[in-house]
Amino acid sequence: MAASPLLTPAPPAGSSLRPAEYAEICRHLGREPTPVELGMYEVMWSEHCAYKHSRAVLRRLPTSGPRVLRGPGHNAGAVAVGGGWAAVFKMESHNHPSAVDPLHGAATGVGGIVRDVLAMGARPIALLDSLRFGPLDLPGVRRLVRGVISGIASYGNSIGVPTVGGELACAPCYTRTPLVNVACLGVVREDRIATARAAGPGSAVVYLGARTGRDGMHGAAFASAELAGRPADRAAVQMGDPFTGKLLIEATLEILATGAVVALQDMGAAGLTGAMSEMAARGGVGMDVDVALVPRREAGMSPAEVLLSESQERMLLVVQAGREDEVLRIGRRFGLEAVVIGRVTAEPRLVVREGPEVVVSLDPRHLTSAPEYAPEAREPVLSDEVRRLEGTRLAAVAPEEALFRLLGSPGIASKRWVYRQYDHMVQTNTVVPPGADAALLRLKEVPPKGVALTVDGNGRWCALDPYVGSLRVVCEAAQNLACLGAVPVAATDCLNFGNPERPEVFWTFRRAVEGISRACEALGIPVISGNVSFYNEEGGQAIFPTPTVAMLGLVEDTARHATPGWKREGDLVVLLGTGCPQLDGSEYLAVVHGQVAGRLREPDLEAVGRTIRCVREAVARGLLASAHDCGDGGLAVALAECCIAGRRGAALTLRTGDGARADEILFGEDVGRIVVSLSPGALPDLMGIARGLGVGVEVVGLTGGGRLVVGTGGPTPPWIDVAVEDLARAWEGGWS
């Protein structure tokens, strides 16, 4: 470990560090790093761990609010939900691992996000997933889909955490680079939120969980590069054990209840290296650790392998000196490895030994302080053909045919085949299960309150205009919560993009974050946690820019909520809001005409907010029998979904403006429009709420019968006149 005489050292061949980064490391250390230290810097300064290209942009997001207890920078965000309780919420990606090994990649994505929530001291109570794949008729795609769904189900079901909602869509750009984003919600008392800030020189550093193996080696670096798709990449994919994961949840919560834990963190990205260095850096302290004491699954593992392994189901705890045995006994009672592997030191220095030999000696604050980059940003040049959508050039398609094609498309068709594989009722909190605009869970700790969850994303919109597309994604999520009757209180995001070192990609990323920020500020929704996933491309072919937003809402009384399906014969069908539907960027254009084109109009965020409030208040007052937003596929699809969910039809008459096209009225998309049904006697009260908020109200028809009939009135035949049974058959057969 003597000082190097090199003035301008170059990184060793094969290193992922840039020459300038390696030079900075040598300057700080006063020498060249040891091979073990080099590996630690490579993972901790990777994009996955360090957010080198995104940190500055992410600072634009609104992160504070009256309910926020913990924001970005912690293992997960936390918001107050009443009665002294907090909801802990975060979303992560496991895209690259799922592309290489769909089952294990998705399963360990669930395990990882669950442990992030657990590391806040919270009991995980629900999962959401947001998934993207290539077209189903392409080779290998169905295998990917089945593997990912099986991975999510096998892990979530085994650990007893219900998957209560999600979304799934297909497009060619996701064929080789699928997206697997998973969010987790947990609950904890406000005064028991845990920290990852190490403290107390002399405190014990405790390893808890499964043994360490060679799986997941360099997983963080693997997630910070373009997907190679080589069989060798499988070594970077972790192998999960959900049964050990369940034991770890229960053991950790019982250990936290003793009050002996100073800090804890999941050994996720960068494994033991990440947990040690981040906990020490946050607390401004050091650690002295002997890796020879780390329980191992395989013989002959080197110190570097032990430090960099991302084996699953492992936590690192800092425990008060003198209370180690109390903690170890609990861990071992659950059949877990529980070992003191080191001590906290006052000097901010991370010293790692293998027995008597020192293999690492560095400042953890430097290890966790990677350089920050501001890449060149350049707006992509879209062709005039993509920019301008000439409606007159669209081939004529009968509205009924278009509706059936949309209902059978992967993004809109029933996902029952997916969520029936999930045990979404475990823990008995689920009030509204998967299949509605949002899921609803009761908060047993604070009855009769409940929490609502939803997740949304739209790569088509963001490919055409990342700023407006991201605005719409946030609005869509907030509308989904409003339809259930929930007040949005927090968001978490997962930002999926290509290589940020390409100027067009970075410009798109920056504009998407600006859109999320603007919409969240306008709607008063703080972003309390999140994840950035770059390098989602292969061979220079990037995915659509796909920011996904998971949103958490609060319901004062779980007995007062709405769902999409018509509930009674003879109810009024009312369209709330004044959005301006357009075919540009729509599901109709993509599915029926095979185009992703057009110019998106920026929504009136103030008007959208008023519509959201109107629907929410109407649900809370018990005025609405049903509520459903006009999302993918526009008004016609929303009406068909209400019919299918309620197993009854409706007769509707729509107003048409001058020069309005049938396809635009029926299938155009926008935010700020919600379809509700209610008894005729409740209409005056709804009108009163809407007038007070300046929200448009249009009574468009009545529920009843066995057919969906949509027209403009008068002598002309209706645009749509189909049996609800036929609609349901098309919708339920879309993934067959």
Active site residue ranges: 48, 94
| CA dist., res. 407 & res. 478, Å (int) | 23
Q: State how far Cα 125 lies from the chain centre.
A: 16
- Angle at CA of residue 322, ends 320 and 328, nearest 5°: 80
Q: Which two tokens stand for residue 21?
A: 């980064």
Residue 539 CB burial class (10 angstroms; 0-12, 13-18, ≥19)? exposed
Residue type, 547: P
Q: State how far Cα 533 lies from the chain centre.
A: 11
Question: For the chain, how long is the longest CA-to-CA vector?
Answer: 92
| CA dist., res. 202 & res. 343, Å (int) | 6
Residue type, 379: E
Residue type, 450: G
- Cis peptide bond upstream of 178, omega within 30: no
Phi, psi of 369 (to 5 degrees): -125, 65
CA atoms within 13 A on the CB side of 416: 9
Residue type, 298: E
E strands, 332-479, in order? 337-345, 350-354, 357-362, 430-432, 439-442, 450-457
The pairing of beta strand 720-723 with beta strand 450-457: unpaired
CA-closest candidate to residue 552, choices 462, 443, 445: 443
Phi, psi of 531 (to 5 degrees): -155, 145
Residue type, 389: L
Q: Which two tokens stand for residue 427?
A: 């823990």
- Convert 694-712 to b/e letters by CB count within 10 Å (16 or more is b): ebbbebbbbbeeebbbbbb
Phi, psi of 165 (to 5 degrees): -175, 175
Looking up tokens 């999926």 gives 496
Question: Quick one: DSSP state of residue 292?
Answer: G
| CA dist., res. 178 & res. 105, Å (int) | 11
Residue type, 673: R
E strands, 588-714, in order? 626-629, 650-653, 674-678, 697-703, 707-711
User: Contact, 659 vs 576, CB < 8 A?
Assistant: no
